[in-house]
Amino acid sequence: MDLPVNITILGPGAVGSLWACYLQKAGHNVSLWTRNSIPSELPLSLSAKENSSYAFSCNNKESLSQCDLLFITVKAWQVESALLPLLPLLSKDTILLFMHNGMGAIDAIKDQISHHPILQATTTHGALKESSHKVKHTGMGHTVIGPFNSLGNQCQFIQEVLTHSLPSTEWNPEIKVALWKKLAINCAINPLTAIHRCQNGGLSQSDIHQDVVQVCCEVQQVLQQEEVILSQSELLLTVNQVISATAENYSSMNRDCFYQRKTEIDFITGFLLQKAKQHGISASTNQTLYNQIKQLEENFL
Ligand code: KPL
């Protein structure tokens, strides 16, 4: 086995807990950091093919200061408030790995973290937190990881750490392209499933699907300006494939609205709208969906 890596997972929600279990199972030293910052021990059980249990130390400052990798799995809108208070406790060599839906969260804090190697990743593994101590691996997926800065470029070995723990993971030096493609899918699926209160499969109904097509058309124009090569028909095909492969699932934004939690809209459709504006592209369907989600949030936040 490769040398064990000291890893702290910041934000052990569904995805963070899933990685925590698989990384520890692979022999790495994994600890967790949670919102309340109170030192504790946290058992997590992983239901996949077999049930297995893992114990983690939680909010341990010594583990944090010694971690080689800080794996940040909080939602995009929590990145700044969760990470900035921890920076004084980290070694300058600690690698920061971000994995969340949406884009733009790192840009907002990049000057404060630019001395660290920074990596970004996106995954299609399915995870469900069944209770505070139980995570279910609901679907095998694929992970793409790549550098955000030049220091991150020297950390390709993290791809091996991830792929040996939870296959498969690929290193992509053009990680922005992978993130844009994931953002395009999220723009098409997440707001509409939240507004129509439906599972992902509900978007194939013809009246709603018209909006999916319109969103993809606007997103593709932005992608083109961002030099992401993906035709309109390829984008629509990919979105339709995700809709049918996850037909029974509720999107994360649907769940956030259902449970009356803040959504990731600012980092998904909001990010797209910012870029559309910069490029002088009209994105009225995305704007309408953005406004509708903001309105929903206003009613419960
Ligand atoms: O990433 C997702 C999400 O729900 O946030 C999709 C791909 C839409 C799957 O539900």
> Is 178 in contact with 172 (CB distance < 8 Å)?
yes
The per-residue pLDDT for 3 is: 83
What angle do the packed helices 175-195 and 284-300 form, to 10 degrees?
A: 60
* pLDDT of 118 higher than 80: yes
Instruction: Write the residue with the smallest CA distance to atom 10 of ligand 1.
Output: 251
Q: 67 alpha carbon to ligand 1 midpoint, in Å?
A: 30
The per-residue pLDDT for 49 is: 74
Ligand 1 proximal residues by C-beta, below 6 Å: 101, 185-186, 189-190, 200, 242, 246, 249, 251-252
75, 136, 182, 275: which is the annotated catalytic residue? 182
* pLDDT of 225 higher than 60: yes
Instruction: Look up residue 113 and give its two tokens.
Output: 């973290």
Q: Dump pLDDT digits (tens) for 40-92.
A: 999 999 997 778 999 999 999 999 999 999 999 999 999 999 999 999 999 99
* pLDDT of 208 higher than 70: yes
Spatial neighbors of 261 by CB under 8 A, at least 6 apart, are 255
Instruction: Write the residue with the smallest CA distance to atom 6 of ligand 1.
Output: 251
Share of the chain above pLDDT 70, in %: 99
Which fold does the domain 177-300 belong to in CATH?
N-(1-d-carboxylethyl)-l-norvaline Dehydrogenase; domain 2 (1.10.1040)
Ligand 1 atom index nearest CA of 254: 4
Domain ranges of the chain: 6-172, 177-300
| pTM for this predicted structure | 0.96
Averaged over 214-241, what is the pLDDT? 97
- The CATH classification number of 6-172 equals 3.40.50.720
Averaged over 261-277, what is the pLDDT? 98
Q: 254 alpha carbon to ligand 1 midpoint, in Å?
A: 9
Distances (CA, A) of 250 to 43, 143, 196, 281, 296: 27, 21, 11, 30, 17
182 counts as catalytic: yes
The per-residue pLDDT for 50 is: 77
Q: In 10 A of CB 169, how many CB atoms?
A: 20
* pLDDT of 2 higher than 70: no
Q: Dump pLDDT digits (tens) for 148-178.
A: 999 999 999 999 999 999 999 999 999 999 9
Q: Dump pLDDT digits (tens) for 15-36.
A: 999 999 999 999 999 999 999 8
The per-residue pLDDT for 165 is: 97
Instruction: Look up residue 94 and give its two tokens.
Output: 């600690």
Ligand 1 atom index nearest CA of 249: 10
Longest dimension (CA), the chain: 55
* pLDDT of 1 higher than 70: no
DSSP assignments along the chain, one per residue = -PPP-EEEEE--SHHHHHHHHHHHHTT-EEEEE-TT---EEEEEEEESSSEEEEEEEES-HHHHHT-SEEEE-S-GGGHHHHHGGGGGGS-TTPEEEEE-SSSSTTGGGHHHHTTS-EEEEEE--EEEEEETTEEEEEE---EEEEESSTTGGG-THHHHHHHHHSS-EEE-TTHHHHHHHHHHHHHHHHHHHHHTT--GGGGGSHHHHHHHHHHHHHHHHHHHHTT----HHHHHHHHHHHHHHTTTPPPHHHHHHHTT---SGGGTHHHHHHHHHHTT---HHHHHHHHHHHHHHHHH-
Pocket probe for ligand 1: among 246, 254, 256, 263, the residue whose CB has the most ligand atoms within 8 Å is 246
